[in-house]
Structure 1
């Protein structure tokens, strides 16, 4: 394990926007439990597609997309608050 100092652009906690040393742009810290939930939701989409249940797959995909949109909006707001251009 290596200890480093990171720049924190939002309050700590879930989905904190941080910049690690040597990186030009910040990233989003996703906690392990949140990552596990996201993986499970994508697995549900795949399972629904395999069953041919496109309505359920679409509903779950919409839920995942909504969560990712919120995450992206928070990231973009943190960049704007600190005068950092988007990397895309």
Structure 2
């Protein structure tokens, strides 16, 4: 763990706004459990759209879930690396739906 000073513009729960030391742009902070829930909702959308995998909607839902899952995996690994216990685990992954993509 590294300690640095960051600029905090909002401390709203699940909607904090910060600027990291090396960034020009502000960032949005979301708690891990909320990230986990967003990922689950994206997976649910893929499940509903899986019968039409060639559709633009399926592809966009897949990409959204994939991006959320990458962030969630980074969050989980960071917690594990720092001996922080988690109350959740990814049960369903975008990888379960990858074979439905036509162009990959």
Superposed, 1:17-28 pairs within 5 Å as 17-28=17-28
Partner of 2:10: 10
Distance in 2 between residues matched to 1:51 and 1:40, nearest whole Å:
18
The runs of 4+ residues in structure 1 deviating greater than 2 Å are none
Higher fraction of helix: 1
**Unaligned residue ranges in structure 2 (runs of 5+):** 62-104
Partner of 1:70: none
Superposed, 1:6-85 pairs within 5 Å as 6-51=6-51
Distance in 2 between residues matched to 1:24 and 1:7, nearest whole Å:
11
**TM-score by structure 2 length?**
0.47
**TM-score by structure 1 length?**
0.54
Report how many residues are paired. 54
**Pairwise CA distance, 1:49:** 0.8
**Pairwise CA distance, 1:12:** 4.4
**Pairwise CA distance, 1:32:** 0.2
- RMSD, aligned CA: 1.9
